[in-house]
Amino acid sequence: MKPHCLSKYRPFPKVSLPDRRWPEREITQAPAWCSVDLRDGNQALAVPMSVDEKLEMFRLLVGIGFKQIEVGFPSASDTEFAFMRRLIEDELIPDDVHVQVLVQAREHLIRRTFESLQGAKNAIVHLYNSTSPLQRRVTFRNASQDEIKRIAVDGTALVKELVPSLPETKVAFQYSPESFSDTELDFALDICESVMDVWEPHKEAPIILNLPATVEWFTPNIHADQIEWFCRHLSRRDQAIISLHTHNDRGTGIAATELGLLAGADRVEGTLFGNGERTGNLDIVTVALNMNSHGITTGLDFSNLPHVREVYERTTRMTVPDRQPYGGELVFTAFSGSHQDAIKKGMDLRDPEEPEARWAVPYLTIDPQDIGRTYEAIIRINSQSGKGGVAYVLDREHGLDLPKTMHPEVGLFVNQLADQMGKELSSDEIGEAFHEEFVNRQSPLQVTSYELEHHKDAPGKVTCAADVTFEGKTVTLKGDGNGPINAFVQAMDNQGWKRFHLTDYRSHAIGRGSATDSAAFVQLQSEEGRLVWGCGIDPSIEMAGLRALVSAFNRVASS
């Protein structure tokens, strides 16, 4: 922003709350959740959801576990009214789910809303009117506080009058002083107290007072101060459920909600992935999974978050950003070498026999599998990646547990390839590149046949005879040793080809069962002192070792 523009703006005043208590509190239980995807979320779409799409979204929300769902604004249009009637007449609303309907504090809209609710089992009538000085001056053309309060009180009285017209429905009432975030606190309190006077709630049937940060004007701590001030000054606090409805204009809607819960709120309204007007509503997915990451039960099931995301993106035609917490494509992904190495070490320390053991993996706040993500996406490889990341991918996705001292050589090779290609390498591309460079190399030396003879009179001693092709010539090699690899090394030495030292050998089975392959890894040191690894894969552990030796030899010879 250009400096001369700054004179347009002023900071919002702080709340006078010198003995604030919320900073010392912690969140220990989940609030009541209300999804507003079908109302706030839907009105923010360039192409609003069709009735069928809204039905699919409703079923998704019910499946996740929402017990309160704002399904629309039935008095606003015939489509909204018809959707409410569809839910009721087709008996699509579970008995334990409360459908919430939004309505302005205007008589004809309230009456139309009650018509839409005929036959519903549980409903929340959500009445609102704007209360802030800016709204009073601009929208209501300098209306006084008393005039604004009269709108809320008269609307509440009409809702109360109409409740008996729904004999089959258990009706709860919610009032929102819309634009609470920039309304004078004493006036917001006064108007809510007046609404309570009319509605006459009690402990067993409390009113819901929803305090919207309709526009996010200030930092989350100020929002928390507002909520705590309101809760402490409300005369009948035990007869009210204090509800939060934050927006994300400053990018801190989630933080404002969490601090608002510390400040005493009981309920939260929001949408999946934060879809909403302007910069969006509260992202309920993030807030709920933040709680899960601290061991708090929320009542919401995001164990298959990819499915939730798929339905959301298809029905709303919105896209979850790659870096969106929990739901984004890349949120569990590390490209950095040091991060990859720490993640691999953390994953390696986890006991697969104790999946419920306390989660403690560097850089990962939760286990991706707990929300339906696979480990495949955790480490992805580009030119910035490290040796640990490449080793992790080869282990998790291809079953190859590389020796620790092999990691630098393989990591450097794959990183240089990614740099040359100028892109991220997929798991398959990494596997193919590794096999081409390190596995079962056959040039310049190729073994065409191989036989072993075990000496009964000398346990452990073997003789190998092998037909090989070296630099285009066919040669028969023979050698003795204390094992298959040692015998073949002696055979190469007898031929005058041993210009190396064998410095390391490892092997393991790939997968489980009798039909698995074996992988072997051999490290050679050339006459010049360079250390080179080769890998062999074969159903026979002996042949896998031999192939690893030949692969390493060929890599030394071709360098």
pLDDT digits (tens, 9 = 90+) for 22-55: 999 999 999 999 999 999 999 999 999 999 999 9
- Residue 337's pLDDT is 66
Residue 504 and residue 511 in contact, taking contact as beta carbons nearer than 8 Å: no
Q: How many C-alpha atoms does 75 have within 13 Å on its Cβ side? A: 19
pLDDT under 50: residue ranges of the chain? none
Taking the CA atoms of residue 142, residue 148, residue 154 and residue 157 in that order, the dihedral angle to the nearest 10 degrees is 170
Closest to 99 measured CA to CA, from 142, 21, 5, 36: 36
Domains of the chain, start order: 30-316 (3.20.20.70), 337-434 (no CATH), 445-558 (3.30.160.270)
Residue 99 and residue 123 in contact, taking contact as beta carbons nearer than 8 Å: yes
Task: Give the tokens for residue 273.
Answer: 């992935």
- Residue 351's pLDDT is 84
Q: What global pTM score does this model have?
A: 0.77
pLDDT tens figures, 372-404: 987 656 655 555 666 677 888 898 889 999 998
* Residue 208 amino acid letter: I
Residue 550 and residue 534 in contact, taking contact as beta carbons nearer than 8 Å: yes
- Residue 346's pLDDT is 87
- Residue 264's pLDDT is 98
CA 283, CA 272: separation in Å to the nearest integer?
6
- Residue 279's pLDDT is 94
**C-alpha 253: how far from chain center:** 17
Say if strands 462-470 and 445-454 run parallel, antiparallel, or are unpaired.
antiparallel
- Residue 518's pLDDT is 93
pLDDT tens figures, 497-526: 898 999 999 999 997 655 679 999 999 999
* Residue 295 amino acid letter: G
Say if strands 267-270 and 32-35 run parallel, antiparallel, or are unpaired.
parallel
